[in-house]
Chain A
């Protein structure tokens, strides 16, 4: 199947899942309030940290806000695409409905990663963008073409890493069946992405750059925004992102060999 067909299929996905999600309109409103409160809460927490100290890990309050903004955008993306789809994988495997996905003349990873969409995450993404624009103003960042390109690349890489992490864990469902809790562990680890990497001790910093590259997800894009990032860091992020994407793909294909349907 070519690209155009995939786009056509994706349009159908969008249509069906939006239609079913919009059934719960108040739910979307509640989710929006949740997103706003959670942003307010983390800014509150950040302000406690900065109460009596001008710098945390070499970051000023205004600069640390950029990390919050990027985290909010990425969290919105997680809630819009990764979370609804990848929790669906668990269901597919437990109930044996993955059979139907595998039988379709379409790439199975494409199908299970993009089937569903949760519109309330959009609002969170917008919230993050507003905060980011605000940060660009208070930090007096000059917008130039090279800056825009670099920040775009790093954020795309962050999304790829995030997706791969989620997809990795969901793939393990094929062996362990119930990985819902493993996702909770990932979520709690991702939480530290709200803070500058330098504010942690050396051992944690190493752990979060090598084993679970959360450091790359928010800190490097924020450094790009502040014009602090060295080129090698950006290159490293691109490499890490592509390695993660390729391995997650390989891992999925490998895992499928162990899939042994259910119930039937």
Chain B
């Protein structure tokens, strides 16, 4: 009965948000295009033969960056920006009355946006293979499923981190600038611009203890068939989720107590 209700709620939310997102197809297409930085990086790597020093062939590297692009596409999180706007305009108040944590709404928004984004990402990948036909490959089904799971876990980690930052809106008015600060290490350490294998030893020694390499590097390596520790990576992802979730719950209960309806 209860699970039925939850299912019903989730499906309704998803349906609503999906039709909402379909309205903004063009914007989402542009979002997809703005994620092509990994391809520029690939261009620098292969054009200067930098990959020889890290023992990754041109083809494997291009697959890596393509997968990094895909992982990034399906793990982009912007909940803090939505939540900040809603909380500044006082829109959070009606959400709080509903018997559903407002973050479910944002979560459904993200999922719906990913579904809308999927065809655009495929089109970009199609163009990528036209320019780099030799890097076309078919991953085996098991690996593909695992990498989809790990991409989703990466999305969950980022969603939790950003939700925690978003909850800071209850205390400060501009939580998004903290998110912009956190985005910088994510950008440089997650493997979006350079695979973690290529990092100097003094960074590699501690980076695997942080959540960053599990956001893009690990799922991308998994999907592209580059060498990686599958069980270790997945368990670290799950560990981070287990660490972050109670933190989010705590800051949420504390924050809602502090909440003073603004705007309306």
Contacts and interface: CB of A to CB of B under 8 A. Distances in A.
B82 interface: no
Contacts of B203: 44
Interface string A171-211: 00000101011101101100110010001110010000000
B200 A47 contact: yes
Q: Taking chain A's interface residues, is the majority helix, strand, or loop, or is none over half, making it mixed?
A: helix
A52 interface: yes
A41 B185 contact: yes
B3 interface: no
B48 A199 contact: yes
Interface in B27-41: 27-28, 30-31, 33-37, 40
A57 B27 contact: no
B50 A52 contact: yes
A181 B174 contact: no
Contact of A192 (B31, B40, B173): B40
B1 interface: no
Interface string B36-73: 11001001100111101100000000000000000000
Nearest to A182: B30
A264 interface: no
B101 interface: no
B258 interface: no
Contacts of A126: none
Interface stretch (B8-16, B86-94, B187-195): B187-195
Contact of A49 (B27, B48, B177): B48
A236 interface: no
A57 B33 CA distance: 26
A201 B43 contact: yes
Contacts of A24: 173-174
Contacts of A37: 181, 184-185
Contacts of A44: 188, 203
Say which size band chain A's interface belongs to: 35 or more
B199 interface: yes
Contacts of A56: 44, 48, 50
B199 A48 contact: yes
A38 interface: yes
Nearest to B36: A188
Interface of B: 24, 26-28, 30-31, 33-37, 40, 43-44, 47-50, 52-53, 172-174, 177-178, 180-181, 184-185, 187-188, 193-194, 198-200, 203
Given A27-B177, A31-B180, A53-B49, 17 more contacts: A37-B184, A48-B200, A51-B53, A51-B198, A51-B200, A56-B50, A57-B48, A178-B24, A182-B30, A187-B34, A191-B40, A195-B44, A199-B44, A199-B47, A199-B48, A200-B44, A204-B43
15 contacts: A26-B172, A38-B187, A41-B184, A41-B185, A48-B198, A49-B194, A51-B53, A51-B198, A56-B44, A56-B50, A57-B47, A178-B24, A195-B44, A200-B44, A200-B47
